[in-house]
Amino acid sequence: MSDIHIRKAGRAGRITLTRPNALNALSYDMCIAIEKAIDDWRDDPEVAVIVLDAEGEKAFCAGGDVAQLYQTGKDGDFDFARRFWADEYRLNNKLHGFPKPVISFMQGFTMGGGVGIGCHGSHRVVGESSKIAMPECGIGLVPDVGGTLLLAQAPGRMGEYLGLTGARMGAGDVLHAGFADYFIAQAEWPDLIAQLEENGDPFILDRAASTPPPSTLAELQEEVDRLFHAESLSEIDAALAMSDSGFAAETVKTLRRNSPLSMACTLEMLRRLRGPGIGMVPALEQEYRFTARSLEKGDFIEGVRAAIIDKDRSPNWQHADWDVPQADIDAMLAPLGDNELKLEENL
C-alpha cells in the first residue's frame, strides 16, 4: 500500500505513514493494515517493539480522512462511517493494551485519528515541531479514538479546555497534559530508531530524553481550572463572560465557532469518565455512541461541509443559541442496544 510502509526491521515492527502530501491522514485501509500488522506481531518472537513514525516534516498524522465519511453520509449511507469508526476504535484499543512496547515519533501535526494511533502506546515521543490537538468539536464530532480518556486524565480541568476548544499543544504542553512521555530533539530520531531496530530496547529513550520547552498550558492551569470547573456548557460560557482576561476573551471566540451539541456532549463524556476503574473500553464505547449517531442526528455533515468541503467557516449548528437540553445530550450518548461497539471482534 503506497499510503503506509509496514515491515519488520531487525527487532522492530515498523509502521511508517507515507502520505505526507495529505498530512498522513488516516484512511480506512490504513487502519486495517495497521491492525493486521500488530495482530501478526503480537506473538512474533522476532518483534520486540513496534515503532510508529511518518514521512514528511509537517505531520505525523493530521487526523482521519473525513471527506469520504462526509460523502457517504451526505448520500444517506451511515453504515460506512459506523464501520470505519468501529474498526478504528478496535485498533486504538489494541494499541493501548498491546503487550509489547509501542513507540511513536510524532513530528508536526498530530490530531484526531493521529492521536488514536500515536498517543496510546507505551512510549510517546515529541520534538520541536510537534503540535497535538483534538479539534473534533469544530466539525460536529466529539474527541474520539480514545481521546476522551486522555482528556479526562489531564490535570485539573485541562481536558475540558482542550476538548472544547481543540487548542493546539506544543511539545511542553503535550507533556504537561499527558499526551506524550518524552521530548527528544528530532535530529536524534533516525539514530534512535536504528538502535531500536538493532536491539529492541526502549530504555534508550530514557537516556535520550531532554528537558521540554516551557508549557504555556502549565502557566494557565489555575485559570483553566477556574473557568472550566462547571459541568454544563452554559455555566462555562457564563464564567468566561465574567472574566476580563485576554485568555478568556480568546477562548470565547474559539468556542463560538464550534458545535454546541458536540461541546455539551464532550463535557458529559469527560464527567462520566472520571472515577476509579474507568479506562479505555468505556471511553471508546461512549465515543462510539456519539459518532454512530453523528451523521444522522448530530452536526457532523454540516461541520465538515463548512470546514473542509465549502470552506465557508459558517456552519449552521443545531442549538445555535447554546441552549443544549440534557435530553439531547442523553439521546446522543444513549446505549445502542445490539449495535453497541464490539471491541472483541477480530482479536
Divide the 347 residues of the chain into consecutive groups of 10 and give the mean pLDDT of each group.
92 98 94 97 98 97 87 89 96 97 98 97 98 97 98 97 98 98 98 98 97 97 97 93 96 96 97 86 97 96 94 94 94 97 75
Burial 117-132 (b: 16+ CB within 10 A, else e): bbbbbbbbbbbebbbb
Q: Is 222 a catalytic residue?
A: no
Say what the pLDDT of residue 68 is: 82
Domain map of the chain by residue range? Answer: 4-339
Long-range Cβ contact pairs of 322-331 (< 8 A, separation 24 or more)? 322/233, 322/234, 322/237, 322/260, 323/234, 324/233, 324/260, 324/261, 324/264, 328/261, 328/264, 329/261, 329/264, 329/265, 329/268, 331/293, 331/297
Q: Say which of 63, 112, 113, 303 is annotated catalytic.
A: 113
Tell me the whole-structure pTM to 2 decimals: 0.96
pLDDT in tens, 279-290: 999 999 999 999
Tell me if residue 10 is catalytic: no
pLDDT of residue 71: 87
Q: What is the pLDDT of residue 344?
A: 77
Catalytic residue among 65, 88, 136, 160: 136
How far is the C-alpha of 44 from the C-alpha of 38, rounded, in Å? 10
CATH number assigned to the domain covering 4-339: 3.90.226.10
Cα 268 to chain centroid, rounded: 17
What pLDDT, on the 0 to 100 scale, is given for residue 345? 62
Q: d(Cα 108, Cα 126) in Å, to the nearest integer? A: 9
Q: What pLDDT is stored for residue 346 in this prediction?
A: 53
Judge whether 181 counts as a catalytic residue.
no
Contact status, residue 46 vs residue 10, Cβ threshold 8 Å: no
Catalytic residue, chosen from 65, 88, 144, 268, is 144
- 144 in catalytic set: yes
Q: Which residue has cell 481550572?
A: 225
Of the candidates 64, 127, 147, 200, the residue annotated as catalytic is: 64
- Residue 153 C-beta-side C-alpha neighbours within 13 Å: 18
